[in-house]
C-alpha cells in the first residue's frame, strides 16, 4: 500500500506530497490525519526551513471524499464534530505554522481542496488548475474554508465564491488574489524551488515565524490593541539571536546568508 502522504527535504525545503491519487486526493479522516502528522514532522524537522505542499496525480485535491461524507451522515453529532475538527485542525496548523508554507497546485483544487491550496502563505498554480468552493451544489456548506477565505479576500469576494459555487480557472484565481503566481506546468517545479530558496537564504527563520504569528493575531484587534501588540513584538524581536546577528552583519558590511 502506498503512503497517503510523502515527505522529503531538499536544500532546506520540505516537500509534502499528497499521494491518494486513486481518489484524486480527496479528504477523508484518515487522509487528513496523515497530512497533519507529516506537517508536524516538517515543523519539527530542523533540516526543513520552508514547506512546499504539492500533489501527485491529476488533481491537487478534489475536496471531501463524498463516499466518506455519505457514511458520516449515519454517525452521531459528536462523531461528525470530531471529523470536522480534524479538518479544522489541519487548516489552522497550516495557517499558524511558524514555517512558511507554499502550495504548488496542478489540476483541480475544489471545495475543501481549494481551501487547502489557498490557505498557504504563497500559492503557485499552472494554467490547467481549476478552483471552486462547490459545496452548495451538493447541499453542503463551505464552513471551515469560509473562516479563512473571508480573512484572505474580504466578505464581498467570499460571498460571490461561496454562494455561487462556481468553478473558475487559474487566471481568475490570480485576479482574485487566491494565488500568488501563475506558472507554466513545465516550469512550476523550478519556480517553486527557486522561490523557496530565496526565503531560505535571505529571510530569518525567527523573523518569518514572528511575522506569521502577528498576521494571525493582529486582525482581530482594534487599533490601539494592535499598536500595543506591535510594540511588544518589536521588543521581543530585538532580543532574538537572528536580529542581533542581522544588525551586526549590516553594520560590519558582512554578507549574510540565513
Q: DSSP states of 41-100 as a string?
A: HHHH-TT-SEEEEEE-SS-SB-SB-HHHHHHHTTS-HHHHHHHHHHHHHHHHHHHH-SS-
Rounded to an integer, the average pLDDT of 4-21 is: 97
pLDDT band per the 50, 70, 90 thresholds, residue 75: confident
Same domain, 165 and 218: no
Q: How many domains does the chain have?
A: 2
Question: Is 174 a residue whose pLDDT tops 90?
Answer: yes
The confidence score (pLDDT) of residue 70 equals: 73
| Contact call for residues 170 and 113 (beta carbons, < 8 A) | no
The domain spanning residue 177 has which CATH number? 3.90.226.10
The confidence score (pLDDT) of residue 157 equals: 97
Same domain, 123 and 182: yes
| Contact call for residues 142 and 163 (beta carbons, < 8 A) | no
Out of 49-63, 64-78, 139-153, 232-246, pick the least confident: 64-78
Same domain, 105 and 21: yes
Q: Is 43 an annotated catalytic residue? A: no
Same domain, 148 and 209: no
212-247: pLDDT as tens digits: 999 999 999 999 999 999 999 999 999 999 999 999
The confidence score (pLDDT) of residue 67 equals: 73
Rounded to an integer, the average pLDDT of 87-108 is: 96
Which candidate in 135, 155, 217, 254 is catalytic?
Answer: 135
The confidence score (pLDDT) of residue 1 equals: 53
The residue segments making up the domain with residue 76 are 5-200
Flag whether the pTM goes above 0.75.
yes
The answer as to whether 40 is a domain residue is yes
Rounded to an integer, the average pLDDT of 18-43 is: 96
pLDDT band per the 50, 70, 90 thresholds, residue 28: very high
Same domain, 46 and 126: yes
| Contact call for residues 42 and 78 (beta carbons, < 8 A) | no
The confidence score (pLDDT) of residue 68 equals: 66
156-165: pLDDT as tens digits: 999 999 999 9
Task: Tell me the pairing of strands 167-169 and 50-55.
Answer: unpaired
Same domain, 131 and 224: no
204-214: pLDDT as tens digits: 999 999 999 99
The confidence score (pLDDT) of residue 74 equals: 76
Residue 13 and residue 91: Cα distance in Å, rounded? 20
Out of 14-18, 26-30, 77-81, 101-105, pick the least confident: 77-81
The answer as to whether 258 is a domain residue is no
Amino acid at each position: 500500500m502506498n503512503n497517503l502522504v510523502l515527505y522529503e527535504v531538499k536544500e532546506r525545503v520540505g516537500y509534502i506530497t499528497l499521494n491518494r491519487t486513486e481518489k484524486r486526493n480527496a479528504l477523508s479522516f484518515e487522509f487528513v490525519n496523515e497530512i497533519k502528522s507529516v506537517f508536524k514532522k516538517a515543523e519539527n524537522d530542523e533540516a526543513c526551513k520552508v514547506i512546499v505542499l504539492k500533489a501527485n496525480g491529476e488533481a491537487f485535491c478534489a475536496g471531501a471524499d463524498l463516499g466518506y461524507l455519505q457514511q458520516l451522515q449515519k454517525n452521531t453529532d459528536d462523531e461528525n464534530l470530531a471529523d470536522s475538527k480534524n479538518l479544522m485542525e489541519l487548516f489552522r496548523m497550516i495557517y499558524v505554522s511558524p514555517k512558511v508554507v507554499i502550495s504548488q497546485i496542478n489540476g483541480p483544487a475544489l471545495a475543501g481542496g481549494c481551501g487547502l491550496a489557498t490557505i498557504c502563505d504563497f500559492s503557485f498554480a499552472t494554467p490547467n488548475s481549476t478552483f471552486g468552493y462547490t459545496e452548495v451544489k451538493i447541499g453542503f456548506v463551505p464552513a471551515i474554508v469560509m473562516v479563512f477565505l473571508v480573512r484572505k479576500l474580504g466578505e464581498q469576494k467570499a460571498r460571490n465564491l461561496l454562494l455561487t459555487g462556481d468553478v473558475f480557472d487559474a487566471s481568475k484565481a490570480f485576479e482574485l488574489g487566491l494565488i500568488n503566481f501563475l506558472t507554466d506546468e513545465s516550469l512550476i517545479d523550478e519556480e517553486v524551488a527557486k522561490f523557496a530558496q530565496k526565503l531560505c537564504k535571505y529571510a530569518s527563520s525567527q523573523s518569518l515565524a514572528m511575522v506569521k504569528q502577528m498576521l494571525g493575531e493582529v486582525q482581530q484587534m482594534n487599533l490601539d490593541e494592535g499598536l500595543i501588540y506591535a510594540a511588544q513584538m518589536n521588543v521581543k524581536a530585538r532580543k532574538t539571536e537572528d536580529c542581533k546577528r542581522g544588525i551586526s552583519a549590516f553594520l560590519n558590511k558582512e554578507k549574510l546568508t540565513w
